[in-house]
Structure 1
Amino acid sequence: MKKNISFYVMHFCLCFIFLFLPYAFTTNGSIFSLPNLANNPHDRIYFFIYFLLLIFFYFNYYILIPRIYFKEKQIRYITILLFFLLFFLWVSNIFDTPDLNFLDFRNQRQLPFGQMPPPPSKGFNHQNIPFSHKIPTAEFNDLTHFGGPPTQYSHTILVYLIGVVSSLFIAIKIRLSKVEEDRMKSELSFLKAQINPHFLFNTLNSIYSLAIKKDDKTADAVVQLSELMRYIITNANDDVIALDKEINYINNYILLQKTRLGNTVTVDYILEGNSSGKAITPLILISFIENAFKHGVNPNENSEICIKITIIEDYLTLFVSNNKVQSIKSDSGIGLQNTIERLTLLYPNNHVLSIDDTPKMYLVNLTIKVG
């Protein structure tokens, strides 16, 4: 997936903050001070070290981690990290030593060889040096900074380790998120593969019952089945679909069941609210309705099914009830169970499902966000 411009703007801002973070809250009382790379060795050290560490962060994130660390080559990865750490420490030493640093641009005035002052001895007082041999006090004080042990080691190691750990953390977190997303997609595909044949099997059974009785409504039932199958083939694999199409699918399904059952069952179907402009996951409602026809119908008993769909603003409420009758279960209710699992995966915080299973009634009340 192509990254949008906000991705690059965010990274640019983060890099800018990282590079100029050492110059915030300066000692002179100001909140922020621009680095003086030409004349201030402290600013120069921080800027170039941070710049190199920033480059290494992206190199580690986009090259080393995916190509070495995630390829189970941890020993090689650690060796490379140690090599780069030594490299940054060496660079820190170079930047921190002006006589070795080609990037040191300070104006260092060289005195003739014969006029160089002798090395200081015990009790040395530079006030006794002849005027012609005197070095300005500022330059004399600068000599104390020439050479010596590097001052950036501890700071460089700290920033380096923070960069390595943060890049590893981000890469591993994104990788785990992608694995979880792929797992969810695979699981949903598996559930859909089970649901579609389940619907087809039950609907064909309904038409078969009409054909056995040589009912004149068999032809109408076949047309209604074709509408159902067209919806499943065309839209069932979409992540979301217009709520209008899902409602139309439910209407066709209920009409097909009424055609098959005739006067042997009382079906009370109510639809309230406006479904236009809203979206829902396909085949997420039908299992509860199908379950009512499957377990609440018996020609030899009083069979009543109530289905009510109410749409208020961004929420849809589905209420389904059926009285329990003696019926032969064709399967273990895989369609209903799969729908409950899909609701958990796709609407973890955007649905409320309650099922009341009493000895005489089976009631389902589902509220789901469709806006």
Structure 2
Amino acid sequence: MKTKLSFYALHLCLCLAFLFLPYAFTSAKTIFAWPDLYSNVHDRIYFFIYFSLLCFFYFNYYYLIPRYYFKNQQLLYFIMIAGFLLFFLWISRFLDHPDHNFLDFRNHPKPFLNHPNPFEKGIKPPPHFQNMRPGPMSFDAMGGPPTQYGHTALVYLLGVISSLLFAISSRLQNVEKEKMKSELAFLKAQINPHFLFNTLNSIYALALKKDDKTPDAVIQLSELMRYIITNANDEVLDLSKEINYINNFISLQKTRLGNTVSVDYKVNGNPFGKAITPLILISFIENAFKHGVNPDQTSEICIYIDIHEKELTLMVSNKKTFSIQSETGIGLQNTIERLSFLYPDKHQLKIEDSHDKYIVNLTIEVG
């Protein structure tokens, strides 16, 4: 919501600045002169022309460019641009000289806008008129071709070029975002079956032993899968939901492993009101249970989550067992790739792989 408000506020400021541009640095030696739209014909004309050019800028950006330029109809697009240029030149000429042909660049004896020429009959202009240089909006006193022609064409062409550049840049950014989304969707598609496979193996082991905890494990798994189906495709979600998901996962692992593993799990801080990408933490925790547990000996796993005002720190350590695999799991590797995509400058990941321990330290922005 704040992003949209700032977007509209920025465009409003730029539009107002553009509309009042002709009235800056006036010949009255003031930086800015408010337009007199009520009684000054020139001010009304310039305001109308600039307002029309501004409307065309957005029309070109949101309709002509997507409809023609990006649909391989560039020739038709540029023909239309040339046609609109002639139209604006005609509007500019017609408003100032309604009785002249806008293609006629000859000087005309008719006074400008039917007003009497103040310098007729040999009357010399005042000294300050002699030293004045025509501004960008000035006109020939005898009704010749106005410099507004060139000015209108310049502003029009700058608007067309800038709208084209903005549209092309926006299109490239959208293509890059879509590419990133497809890559992230592929990574998630790899993570979810991987997680489900490991958990079903755990419940299968409980069922083989006819453990009374099997029904509870099935319920916990259903809650975990509901979370994945409901929230995994969200870009971000409340951190409290992700923490609750981790709680259920660890509880399920404790149910499966029983006394063969010692789990030291602590969460410090308030997760409410903070956002995080779903399933970005679980792979590090899952990796500890996958590679750091041996049913034939007591295993040790430590999981600490510290939540600060704008950061979350995750520390996961597991004691290595003789069955530990040397290669990194697919879920962990995909999580590292997702971090590089989604938090390129907003996370720090350190992995210590010593002889007897595997330690992960992750700091990530959650504000």
Task: Name the CA distance, whole Å, in 2 between partners of 1:286 and 1:194.
Answer: 14
When normalised by structure 1's length, the TM-score is 0.79
Query: Where does residue 214 of structure 2 map in the other structure?
Result: 218
Q: Give the CA deviation at 1:349.
A: 3.0
Percent identity among equivalent residues? Answer: 67
Deviation at 1:39, TM superposition (A): 8.5
Deviation, 1:92, is 4.6
**Equivalence map 1:46-57=2 (5 Å):** 46-57=46-57
Equivalent residues of 1:92, 1:152 under 8 A apart: yes
Whole-angstrom CA distance in 2 between matches of 1:324 and 1:99 = 93
The 5-angstrom pairing of residues 66-145 of structure 1 reads: 66-94=66-94, 100=100, 105-108=113-116, 134=121, 145=141
Opposite residue 203 of structure 2, the aligned amino acid is: I
Once the two structures are superposed, residues 214-272 of structure 1 have per-residue CA deviations (whole angstroms, 9 ceiling, x without a partner) of 33332332232233223223333333333233222212211221222223233222222
- State the 1:291 CA deviation: 0.3
Distance 1:94 1:225, change over 3 A: closer
Contact 1:97 1:150 in 2 (8 A): no
SS in 2 for 1:365: strand
User: In structure 1, which of residues 324, 335, 341 is the aligned counterpart of residue 337 of structure 2?
Assistant: 341
Q: Distance in 2 between matches of 1:20 and 1:362?
A: 65
| 1:277 equivalent in alignment to 2:267 | no
- After superposition, the C-alpha distances for 1:119-173 in whole angstroms (9 at most, x for unaligned) are xxxxxxx9xxxxxx957656xx9x9732445433433332122111111122222
CA distance in 2, matches of 1:228, 1:44: 66
Answering whether residue 361 of structure 2 is matched by residue 368 of structure 1, we say no
Does structure 1 retain, via aligned residues, the 8 Å contact 2:274–2:366? yes
Distance 1:366 1:163, change over 3 A: same
Corresponding residue SS for 2:20: helix
RMSD: 3.6
Q: What is the aligned length?
A: 346
CA distance in structure 2 between the partners assigned to 1:88 and 1:216 by the alignment: 82
State the one-letter code of the partner of 2:214.
Answer: T
- Once the 2 structures are TM-superposed, how far is the Cα of residue 68 of structure 1 from its aligned partner? 0.7
- Max radius of gyration: which structure? 1
Going from structure 1 to structure 2, the CA distance change for 1:220 and 1:38 (only over 3 Å counts) comes to: closer
Contact 1:97 1:146 in 2 (8 A): no
TM-aligned CA deviation for residue 309 of structure 1: 1.3
Q: 2:317 maps to which residue?
A: 321
Q: Any stretches of 5+ residues in structure 2 without a counterpart?
A: 103-110, 131-138
Asked if the contact 1:26–1:33 (Cα under 8 Å) also holds between the matched residues in 2, the reply is yes
1:301 to 1:7, Cα distance in 2 relative to 1, 3 A: closer
| 2:108 corresponding residue in structure 1 | none
Secondary structure at the residue paired with 1:319? strand
Which has the larger displacement, 269-278 or 9-18? Answer: 9-18
Could you tell me which runs of 5 or more consecutive residues in structure 1 were left unpaired when the two chains were aligned. 110-125, 127-132
Structure 2 SS opposite 1:145: coil
Aligned 8 A contact 1:307 1:318 in 2 = yes
Q: 2:205 aligns with which of 209, 222, 241?
A: 209
Q: Residues 247 and 19 from structure 1, CA distance in 2 versus in 1: closer, same or farther, beyond 3 angstroms?
A: closer
User: TM-score scaled by structure 2?
Assistant: 0.79
- Distance of aligned partners of 1:154 and 1:364 in 2 relative to their CA distance in 1, 3 Å threshold: same
Q: Is the partner of 2:305 in helix, strand or coil?
A: strand
Deviation of residue 70 (structure 1)?
A: 0.8
1:64 is displaced (CA, Å) by 1.4
- Counterparts of 1:181 and 1:322, CA distance in 2: 37
